[in-house]
Amino acid sequence: ADLRAIGKISKEHNVLFCVDNTFASPIAQKPIEYGADLIVHSATKYISGHSDLIAGLVITATEELGAKIKFIQNASGAILGPFDSWLVIRGIETLSLRIKQHAENAQKIAEFLTTEKLIKNVFYPGLKTHQNHEIAKSQQKYFGGVVTFDLVIDDKQLASRIVSGTKLFKLAESLGGVKSLCCLPCEMTHKSIPVEKRYQSGVTDSLIRLSVGLEDADDLIADLKQAIKNAVSANVETASSLN
């Protein structure tokens, strides 16, 4: 999203502008610089970075907003325990190093995926072909570690064989940790959404989401290659259509 444009409109109409900055993290993008009043993070993801914590953060542009949030937090008891707080601090200490590597690995993987015959679309803002590449480039330091792609044959079973056939990418719904994860949204994160609505939002049966971790990028690419090759080989009809 164009944060500058949204920030300008929100100020003109005197409405609060809230940004979920989880995927970018404060290292890659600072929404307050573009007019955001509130920023929320699922600290479970990149901020903690080790898939061992459930936490959320709210950042405010003004002390006044901060005081209101703090009152609600105190009144409802929605606070982290001491150990969870320590885990967040531990994650923040390496956040800049991790975000840089997540993005570098994701860029390499996204570029590799564009060369595969089986793959129809690759969605990653670091690719020049992405419709919002220029916007992302203007407001982000890094493009993040999440890559999604779909297949030329929109088949749920084929996509399922790919995500089930990886060795380094583990099948899980979460993201933002040091270990790479893969997810089949139609059967996982978006399974409860009616098919028609799911397709309207771009979540096809063959859409696969990758949370690219900190493993060696070449190893991750090799893992995807073998998973795709084996998934295609298991279906003679699919294999013949790609030759």
- DSSP run (H or E) holding 226: helix 217-233
Q: In sequence order, which ranges of 17-172 are alpha helices (DSSP H)?
A: 25-28, 63-76, 82-93, 95-113, 133-139, 156-165
The CATH label, of 3.30.1050.10, 3.40.640.10, 3.40.50.300, 3.40.50.1370, for the domain at 3-93 is 3.40.640.10
Could you tell me how far CA 65 lies from the centroid of its own chain?
A: 28
pLDDT over 70, % of the chain: 97
**Domain coordinates of the chain in residue numbers?**
3-93, 95-241
What pLDDT was estimated at residue 238?
62
- Please name the CATH architecture into which domain 95-241 falls: Alpha-Beta Complex (3.90)
Q: With a cut of 70, say whether residue 134 has pLDDT above it.
A: yes
Question: Both tokens of residue 185?
Answer: 């949204």
Q: Region 194-206: what's the mean pLDDT?
A: 96
Q: Could you give the count of Cα atoms lying within 13 Å of 224 in the half-sphere of its Cβ?
A: 28
Q: Region 207-228: what's the mean pLDDT?
A: 98
The structure's pTM equals: 0.92
Q: Which of 176, 179, 134, 129 is nearest to 149 (CA)?
A: 129
Q: Region 156-170: what's the mean pLDDT?
A: 98
Q: Region 59-64: what's the mean pLDDT?
A: 97
* Residue labelled with tokens 């991790």: 98
- DSSP run (H or E) holding 202: none
Can 3-93 and 95-241 be said to share one CATH topology?
no
What pLDDT was estimated at residue 26?
97
Check residue 106 and give left, alpha or beta (phi > 0: left; psi -120 to 50: alpha). alpha
**Residues near 221 by Cβ (< 8 Å), separated by ≥ 6?**
108, 109, 112
Q: Where does the pLDDT of residue 237 fall: very low under 50, low under 70, confident under 90, or very high at 90 and above? A: low
Q: Could you give the count of Cα atoms lying within 13 Å of 63 in the half-sphere of its Cβ?
A: 0
Q: List, edge to edge, every strand of the sheet that includes 38-42.
A: 18-20, 38-42, 56-60
Q: Region 134-157: what's the mean pLDDT?
A: 97
Q: With a cut of 90, say whether residue 234 has pLDDT above it.
A: no
